């Protein structure tokens, strides 16, 4: 067993030595590989080393850009960080398509964040309600030093409500608090407030006269943490067009296209197997911009999928309809994003991405990211219901297959020519390279 004590205290080089000795038979090519990915600028490398713990090297993902995104009349070039081929092409394709049809509309519907103090209490609910009521001003005064600056920005604590969860778990109550954290995602602000609320509960319980000694002793704080489920931090992205205006290179019959598109979305609305893949397509766009802008993609993913299941069944995030001669396609998405805090002011490429997006406020970024998700979904469904997904996706993936086989420049040219008008498949490319090499 390779159990190691005090690993965190070792230097970066000592950590690498341990790793290579323990798992790679001291193979120095492994060290060379790790170092190949170090940045030659030592200061920049140190910055990256310090983002996380036990850093040994960097792990690159490509950053691409998708131009021609018209959102509420303004044109954006959207930065995307993702490992999957065809996503940036698909986003660009949908952005260009809609730029000629009035662009995307996006609206922030709400911006409320949520946090909970989860606690157990084994006494009278009536007394507990009185206790929390009495503490309302204390929660505010005890967090005044945390909330002062946020309030100056127009944010802060919105409400603190007692929720009775004892029907689901014996003695379980929570303080359900809502917040406006303006341009920050708000995790640290919310958690600091919640931990102070918990301190107030702990300290004040013994002073509350209505409680019996048993009631006082029964109150136990379990934990205080924000929720990544933010159904009231919502943004809507939408497109619409006269059906006849949908005509394009791939859409010869716009009426048939619109009807099939709506059916495809209906299928994702009622069929979970399809809904998950449909929403994965949306997250191709969302995650890529979330990553490029240094936001917390785990928080976004968890919150979005909980939202997709909010009515008890996992379903499509997007919706489409035909009304008269108009095609409409839209999506509401819960997005708790920051344009300050976290990595946003630290990572040089995130700073670059924010500059490219013309220094968005959190509300602007919510709109851009929801639109990127809708665009991606549009491109995928357009392909799925017309040419099929493999034609475009594999065209983009071709270079990855060629690189796996260390294809030379001449081989690449020959393969690209051969597959220019053919649908690419992994086996067809391999067969073709093998024939070339014979």
Ligand X SMILES: NC(=O)C1=CN([C@@H]2O[C@H](COP(=O)(O)OP(=O)(O)OC[C@H]3O[C@@H](n4cnc5c(N)ncnc54)[C@H](O)[C@@H]3O)[C@@H](O)[C@H]2O)C=CC1
User: Site residues (CB under 6 A) for ligand X?
Assistant: 149, 153, 181-189, 226, 228, 296, 299, 338, 340-342
From ligand HMG, ligand X, none, which one binds at residue 333 (CB under 5 to 8 Å depending on kind)? none
Return the one option of ligand X, ligand HMG, none that residue 86 interacts with (CB less than 5 to 8 A, by type). Answer: ligand HMG
Q: Which DSSP symbol is given to 244?
A: G
Question: Per this entry, what is the length of the chain?
Answer: 438
> Which residue bears the tokens 């608090």?
177
Evaluate whether 334 touches 234 at the Cβ level (below 8 Å).
yes
Residue among 66 and 187 whose Cβ is closer to ligand X: 187
- CB of residue 104 vs ligand HMG: minimum separation in angstroms? 15
Q: Which is nearer to ligand X, 226 or 239 (CB)?
A: 226
Least distance to ligand X, CB of residue 192, Å: 8
Minimum Å distance from CB 142 to ligand X? Answer: 17
Residues in CB range of 231: below 8 A, 6 or more apart: 307, 310, 334
Q: Which does 181 bind (CB under 5 to 8 A by kind): ligand X, ligand HMG, none?
A: ligand X
Q: What is the closest distance, in whole angstroms, from the C-beta atom of residue 89 to ligand HMG in the complex?
A: 4
Please tell me the distance from the alpha carbon of residue 175 to that of residue 372, in angstroms, as a whole number. 35
Closest CB to ligand X among residues 267, 340: 340
Is residue 120 helix, strand or coil? strand
Least Å distance, CB 27 to ligand X, is 35
Of the candidates 204, 197, 200, which has an alpha carbon nearest to the alpha carbon of residue 175?
A: 197
Q: Tell me how far, at minimum, the Cβ of 361 lies from ligand HMG, in Å.
A: 27
- Nearer Cβ to ligand X (182/382): 182
Nearer Cβ to ligand HMG, position 160 or 379?
379
57, interface contact from ligand HMG, ligand X, none, CB < 5-8 Å by kind: none
Query: Which of ligand X, ligand HMG, none does 334 bind, CB closer than 5 to 8 A by kind?
Result: none
Nearer to ligand HMG, 87 or 201 (CB): 87
Report whether 132 contacts 175 (CB < 8 A).
yes
Cβ proximity to ligand HMG, 145 vs 423, nearer residue: 423
CA distance 112 to 94: 30
Which residue's Cβ has the minimum distance to ligand X? 341
Per DSSP, 57 falls in state S
Structure tokens at 84: 């999957």
Question: Where does this chain bind ligand HMG (CB under 6 A)?
Answer: 84, 86-90, 92-93, 96, 277-278, 280-281, 284, 379-381, 383-384, 389, 392-393, 396
DSSP element (H, E) containing 179: strand 172-180
340 binds, among ligand X, ligand HMG, none (CB under 5 to 8 A by kind): ligand X
| Residue 392 interface partner, choices ligand HMG, ligand X, none, CB cut-off 5-8 Å depending on type | ligand HMG
First-to-last C-alpha distance (Å) of the chain: 47
Which of residues 66 and 117 has its CB atom nearest to ligand HMG in the complex?
66
Strands 156-164 and 234-242: unpaired
Token pair of 219, please? Answer: 């109150």
The site partner of 192 among ligand X, ligand HMG, none (C-beta below 5 to 8 Å per kind) is: none
Selection from ligand HMG, ligand X, none that 87 binds (CB < 5 to 8 A by kind) is: ligand HMG
CB of 371 to ligand HMG, least distance (A): 15
Nearer to ligand X, 130 or 191 (CB): 191
Burial per residue of 106-142, b for 16 or more beta-carbon CB atoms within 10 angstroms, e otherwise: bebeebbbbbbbbbebebeeebbeebbeebeeebeeb
CB 331 within 8 A of CB 237: yes
Least distance from C-beta 331 to ligand HMG, angstroms? 13
187: partner contacted, choices ligand X, ligand HMG, none (Cβ within 5-8 A by kind): ligand X
333: β partners: 235
Residue 397 CB, shortest distance to ligand HMG, in Å, is: 9
Q: How far is CA 102 from CA 70, 240, 259, 434, in A?
A: 8, 8, 21, 48
d(CA 3, CA 420): 53
Q: Are 177 and 163 in contact (CB under 8 A)?
A: no
- Report d(CA 198, CA 115) in Å as an integer: 12
The interaxial angle of helices 87-99 and 362-385, nearest 10 deg, is 100
Nearer to ligand X, 85 or 228 (CB): 228
């Amino acid at each position: 067993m390779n159990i190691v004590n005090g690993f965190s205290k070792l230097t970066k080089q000592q950590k690498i030595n341990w790793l290579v000795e323990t798992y790679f038979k001291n193979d120095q090519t492994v060290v060379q590989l790790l170092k190949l990915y170090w940045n030659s600028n030592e200061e920049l490398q140190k910055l990256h080393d310090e983002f996380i713990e036990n850093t040994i090297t960097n792990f690159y993902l490509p950053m691409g850009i998708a131009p021609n995104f018209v959102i509420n009349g303004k044109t954006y070039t959207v930065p995307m960080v993702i490992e999957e081929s065809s996503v940036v092409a698909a986003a660009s394709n949908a952005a260009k398509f809609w730029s000629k049809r009035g662009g995307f509309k996006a609206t922030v519907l709400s911006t409320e964040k949520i946090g909970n103090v989860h606690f157990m209490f084994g006494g009278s609910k009536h007394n507990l309600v009185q206790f929390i009521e009495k503490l309302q001003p204390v929660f505010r005064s005890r967090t005044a030093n945390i909330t002062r600056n946020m309030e100056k920005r127009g944010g802060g604590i919105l409400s603190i409500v007692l929720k009775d969860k004892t029907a689901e778990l014996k003695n379980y109550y929570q303080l359900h608090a809502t917040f406006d954290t303006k341009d920050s995602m708000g995790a640290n602000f919310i958690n600091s407030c919640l931990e102070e609320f918990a301190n107030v509960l702990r300290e004040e319980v013994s002073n509350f006269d209505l409680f019996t000694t048993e009631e006082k002793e029964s109150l136990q704080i379990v934990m205080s943490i924000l929720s990544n489920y933010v159904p009231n931090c919502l943004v809507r992205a939408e497109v619409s067009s006269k059906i006849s205006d949908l005509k394009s290179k791939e859409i010869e019959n716009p009426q048939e296209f619109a009807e099939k598109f709506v059916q495809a979305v209906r299928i994702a609305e009622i069929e979970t197997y399809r809904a998950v893949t449909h929403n994965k397509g949306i997250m191709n766009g969302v995650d890529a911009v979330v990553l490029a802008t240094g936001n917390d993609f785990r928080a976004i993913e968890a919150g979005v999928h909980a939202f997709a299941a909010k009515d008890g069944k996992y379903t499509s995030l997007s919706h489409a309809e035909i009304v008269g001669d108009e095609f409409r396609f839209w999506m509401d998405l819960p997005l708790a994003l920051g344009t300050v805090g976290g990595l946003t002011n630290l990572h040089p490429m995130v700073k670059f991405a924010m500059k490219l997006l013309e220094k968005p406020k959190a509300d602007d970024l919510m709109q851009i990211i929801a639109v990127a998700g809708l665009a991606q979904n549009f491109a995928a469904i357009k392909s799925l219901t017309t040419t099929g997904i493999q034609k475009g996706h594999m065209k983009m993936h071709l270079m990855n297959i060629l690189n796996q086989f260390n294809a030379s420049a001449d081989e690449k040219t020959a393969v690209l020519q051969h597959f220019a008008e053919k649908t690419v498949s992994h086996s067809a490319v391999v067969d073709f390279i093998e024939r070339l090499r014979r």
